[in-house]
Structure 1
Amino acid sequence: MSRLPEDPTYPEVAGAAADLDGLDALLVECRACPRLVAWREHVGEVKRAAFSTETYWARPVPGFGDPTARIVVVGLAPAAHGANRTGRMFTGDRSGDFLFASMHRVGLASAPTSVRADDGLTLTGVRVTAPVRCAPPGNAPTPTERRTCGPWLARELEIVEPDVAVVLGGFGWQALLTTLAEQGWQVPRPRPRFAHGAEVRLDGPGGRSIVLLGCFHVSQQNTFTGRLTLPMLDAVLLRARDVAEAPPARST
């Protein structure tokens, strides 16, 4: 397979994808951000000692879950030794274990853990995605990298058409608001501020609406310190499920 150009305009082809399978096929070949390409591949070669015998995915990571999901969970970016290793969002690290344990408790996931891409885990009514699809150095993508990667998330949202977005952390919150604004959604100025438990309804093209729910990120610095507990995450996911199951409020 030919290599795609390292060109920041390349993700614009995302808009040509007719469905999620087509989108994912384009996404996994993207090499638009030289810094991210270099880092994800470096990590895949050097590896962590615990995973020294494994073959790392080391490519952009597609969204994962129900293709007709009414709920999307929006994170930050793949973890270097988690999704960048396994090829599936929030799979193979402790952040993912925390997230999927809660999803299982509230009836959105078939199992409480997500170990590898072929472990049989299924999600019902929910899809997990991120605004940046390659593992960034220090878990810190640049604003340019976020903008470059934005079309992938934008097209995914257009295809899935979720009613609710559970947004993990302030970066994901700002990135999602930017993506929605770029799609023609009515994002107010000043923009709604991120907070755990924040709830904002936005109106968009075609009379659509979406509810954004803020949640602290499932990173270890939050879960190990008790800033985010399982009951707190359960509560946000249960609220998302309630909103998604309610009759949709359509703008006129």
Structure 2
Amino acid sequence: MNKIAQNQIYNVNCIDGMKLLPQSKIDLIVTDPPFAIDFKATKQNYNRTASRVMQGYNEIKQKDYYDFSVKWMEQAFRILKESGSMYVFSGWNNLKDILSALDDVGFVTINHIIWKYQFGVVTKTKFVTSHYHCVYVCKNPKKRKFYPFVRFGKNQKTSEGRSLHYKDKEDVWDIKREYWTGDQKTPTKLPAEVIKKILQYSSKEGDLVCDPFLGSGQVAVVSKQINRNYLGFEIVKKYHDFAKKRLEQNLYRLKA
């Protein structure tokens, strides 16, 4: 492979894949990197049927997480346009490495978003974790694109008279996880609603959206649904093939 084309996904290491892209090619990067928390993809996580959860999750050792983050972020910074943005999802466990790497590579932080979902793992000795972090950064804050009224008009109100666009742009997002009961799935995935919200605020139709850690293909699938161009890399062949099938068949969910 010596050339990368848009509206394609590739079964390669994202660092190698991004190196083949020209500088300042991408309008928006949205990604959820590996956890580095000794995650077991074959377990019946969150009461899911293990036979329907695809195996092969590629984990990073915790001691290597900062260096790993810097390496892929350096390439992300290089391929991102001056007007572009990046959203990086992270659990709390390795958030310090994500934040340090973003700063050290040269990204400018715009917002720290909290995604609040409907359940976490039950605990007895500590508080339940039922949120996820999303760090919204850019390359050049003076040129960064953002579309503040794309989802709600300036004067739209809730039934209580509150500004809808203000409410939608608050930095805590209460969005439910998706249940894919009876369908094929990867161990983790972001809800389409979360991805769509990011795409609408930070891109326009025809923009090129990249996900270096594609997983089940959520970012590419939602990008295609709302007329963005997409590009993605996924090192696990089973996940890549699953995402490719979803894209080729224009199906959001695939039966097990």
User: Could you state the TM-score of these two structures normalised by the residue count of structure 1?
Assistant: 0.31
Indicate the structure with greater helix content. Answer: 1
Between Structure 1 and Structure 2, whose CA radius of gyration is higher? 2
